[in-house]
Amino acid sequence: MKRLSMAALLIIALSTGAFAHQGSIGLYTDVTATDCDTDFIPFNPFSIEIVYFKSDSGPDGIFAAEFKVEVPEGVMVIQSFEPSPGMLPMGDINTGIACAYDACAGIGSDYTSIGTITVLLTSAMPVPVQIRVLQSDNLTYPPFAPIVAMCNDPERTIVGVLGGWFTSPDGSCDLGTEETTWGGIKEMYKD
């Protein structure tokens, strides 16, 4: 019985840490970050906001972020990326972009604007699409996820965050800013 109790405590202790995360980078129709879907009109540019949301255990403000945005190949293109004021972007949004602020951004707020992408549906007929935030192709060390650098840490510690998505025609903004299970996280990335 004692071994069983010790094993149960060990499993609970290990699984609790596995469920925690530092926030998420999501895609929304505007900076209020309340809507993450639209009906794209073919050949009509559409702007999408990129926003960092902190979780309960996430940093109070970020100094930088690194990620990429993936659009469906052959159906949609990213025309441009416009960084938020006070930010210096380096890289390509399609393969991996690092964005550094000139000062800590989002201190005391649940979310921080990273920038805006303009996308173009290149299909003559509207089709269902999903745009996703993923880890940068340039990231060669753990955590293998989109990352942010913490402001409230003199070392500017880098932490992994969840990547969000934007869908057409109908989607849900239930982006993971709360602790969840790995099964729930994997479900977000099913094709």
Q: What are phi and psi of 66, to 5 degrees?
A: -140, 130
C-alpha span between 27 and 56 (Å, rounded) = 20
Taking only the tens place, the pLDDT of each residue in 2-19 is: 443 333 333 333 333 444
Residue 10, pLDDT score:
34
Given a contact cutoff of 8 angstroms between Cβ atoms, the answer to whether 66 and 147 are in contact is yes
- The pTM for the full model equals 0.77
Q: Which helix (H) or strand (E) element contains residue 8?
A: helix 2-19
Angle ∠(47,53,55) on CA atoms, nearest 5: 160
pLDDT in tens, 36-80: 788 888 899 999 999 998 877 767 789 999 999 999 998 999 999
| Structure confidence at residue 171 (pLDDT) | 64
3-state secondary structure 65-76: EEEEEECCCCCE
User: Highest mean pLDDT range out of 123-127, 146-150, 184-188?
Assistant: 146-150
Q: Residue 186's Cα: distance from chain center in Å?
A: 14
